[in-house]
Amino acid sequence: MAGFAGCRQALQTRPASAVIDRPKSRSSLAAIDYCLDALECLHVRQGPARSQSACQVVIDVLLSRGIEPPQPVRAATDTYTLHEALLDWQEVVLEDLLRLRRQSPA
């Protein structure tokens, strides 16, 4: 878990304005991207963590930014499963944004 400390710090110190000042779908997407980056950082440093506490750090960061993660993200028991759940959630959010763009083009 020591390798996760740098990723945890990066997640917790990211400026709130980078996520909160955007519309909900875009803020969710930005938060998901950032969490994916942190998990990829962790996986490069030490491989997937088989620890609920590592997953809980990411979930807590999302919740602290007012973003409610879906059940598969909250249920992840290791960082590999969490990464997979975040990718699935990212796909749903991107599809929503694409649908919104098609409904009201700029």
Longest CA–CA span in the chain (Å) reads 46
Give pLDDT tens digits for 40-76.
Answer: 888 888 877 787 888 898 899 899 888 999 999 999 9
Give pLDDT tens digits for 5-20.
Answer: 545 554 444 444 333 3
Average pLDDT, the chain: 78
- Identify the CA nearest to 8 among candidates 29, 44, 34: 34
For the entire predicted model, the pTM comes to 0.74
Which has more confidence, 5 or 101? 101
pLDDT for 4 equals 46
